[in-house]
Amino acid sequence: MTFNYRDVLNQRLSPPQDGWVDVRSKLKHFALINYALPKSRLESYIPASHFEIPEFTIGGKQMALMSAVPFWDVDFHFINLPFLKFSFGQTNFRVYVIDKRSGEHAVWFFGTTLGSFVVYFAKGAWGIPWYYARYQSLFEQDPLTRRYHSYKYTIDSKWCDAQVELEDTGVPVSLTEGFSSVDEMKLILTHPVDGYFYNSNHKVGKYAVWHKEISFTTGRAKNIYFSLYERLGLLSKDEMQNPHSVFICPETEFKVLLPPGEYADNNKMNPL
């Protein structure tokens, strides 16, 4: 029996009911930077009791995939407090995994950098691995096509420094290596709605997001560096210059379903 990725994707596109502390935010200058790497480099960071690290045939080898996702929150706000809005840079660092309990494709978060004091509220209230960062950015776009002439982030953080400079080809994203169909690629890379992480109690936490399908153009790396991935021994500086794929979207909107919960009791110490 063939797995129908479009059916699962359509289920994920069905909007959930609003929760009392859910967050909504318009995201600008959204990039999805994917890296292929040997599964063995990731295994010590992902709780094998809960998650499988899927492999994809890339460059004739079986490789795992992880990503860095920088963007700018334009109007981050709790749905029930629409008058209180925040704007800041944010970058998510994550690995593509499969939840062994449900069989669903999901992501494992190493953590997130945010350029706002909101980070301290989330970290204190829920133990989410969010870290403060200072963001500088430069974006220049064609007013008609919205293609980027300049796309740059500089991120200063004790947890993860970063430099991101991308070229926007303006060409819509098509099927990338490692996937049998566009729907499979979308489900796994652009539409994982469940995210897992080690919380401050060293247990596996979970939260979810919802968003519509995202229209991306294909990007290329001009200069990319994430100190976290070098520190963890996941990628060298040279490897960071050669991502598996880069997707760019000028604007989209996400809903974050809060508060986070716990996947299950897990006393394994956070290796980060």
Q: In percent, how much of the chain has pLDDT > 90?
A: 89
pLDDT for res 271: 57
Res 1 pLDDT > 50: no
Mean pLDDT of 69-81: 95
Q: Give the pLDDT of residue 110.
A: 98
Q: Is the pLDDT reported for residue 63 higher than 90?
A: yes
Q: Is the dihedral of CA 222, 114, 146, 195 positive or negative?
A: positive
d(CA 221, CA 215): 19
pLDDT digits (tens, 9 = 90+) for 119-128: 998 899 999 9
pLDDT for 5-35, tens place per residue? Answer: 999 999 999 999 999 899 999 999 999 999 9
| Structure token digits, residue 222 | 């001009």
Give the pLDDT confidence score for residue 3 in this predicted structure.
76
Reported residue count of the chain is 272
Q: What is the mean pLDDT of residues 222-228?
A: 98
pLDDT average, residue stretch 155-168: 98
Contact 191, 12 (CB under 8 A): yes
- Beta-carbon-side half-sphere exposure of residue 116 (alpha carbons within 13 Å): 17
If DSSP codes are grouped into helix, strand and coil, which group holds residue 251? Answer: strand
What CA–CA distance (Å, rounded) separates 99 from 49?
10
Range 5-12+19-264: architecture per CATH: Beta Barrel (2.40)
What are the residue ranges spanned by the domains of the chain? 5-12+19-264
Task: Please state, in angstroms and as integers, the Cα–Cα distance from residue 186 to each residue in 129, 177, 212, following that order.
Answer: 26, 13, 11
Q: Is the dihedral of CA 98, 103, 105, 111 positive or negative?
A: negative
What pLDDT is recorded for position 195?
A: 97
Q: How far is CA 62 from CA 4, 53, 89, 188, 231, in A?
A: 23, 11, 34, 16, 24
Q: Residue 106 and residue 227: Cα distance in Å, rounded?
A: 24
Specify whether the CB–CB gap between 219 and 153 falls below 8 A: no
Among candidates 18, 109, 29, which has minimal Cα distance to 73?
Answer: 29
Burial class (CB in 10 A: 0-12, 13-18, 19+), 15: exposed
The number of CA neighbours under 13 Å toward the Cβ of 154 is 3
Residue 185: alpha-carbon gap to chain centroid: 15
Residue 266 has pLDDT above 80, yes or no: no
Asked whether the predicted pLDDT for residue 41 surpasses 90, the reply is yes
